[in-house]
Amino acid sequence: MLKDAGFGDILITAKDESRQFIKDWIPDANIDDFIVSAVIKAVKA
């Protein structure tokens, strides 16, 4: 999607520390296996 929008040098880094607060959204649902916060960096070409 970013590439199609004209971005390059795309880097997506998951923030492992987000797992803990995501677990708190719905306890015992293991949603942290499917949802993660991430840092997205890209350069508009």
pLDDT digits (tens, 9 = 90+) for 1-45: 999 999 999 999 999 898 888 989 998 999 988 999 999 999 998
Calculate the CA 6 to chain-centre distance: 20
Task: Print the domain residue range for 17.
Answer: 7-44
Domain count, the chain: 1
Backbone CA torsion sign across 20, 26, 30, 31: negative
Q: What is the pLDDT of residue 19?
A: 87
Residue 1 forms part of a structural domain: no
Residue 13 forms part of a structural domain: yes
Q: What is the pLDDT of residue 45?
A: 82
pTM of the model: 0.68
Q: Say how far apart CA 11 and CA 38 lie, in whole Å.
A: 10
Residue 27 forms part of a structural domain: yes
Q: What is the pLDDT of residue 37?
A: 95
Q: What is the pLDDT of residue 13?
A: 97
Closest to 38 in 3D by CA, of 19, 9, 7, 12 = 12
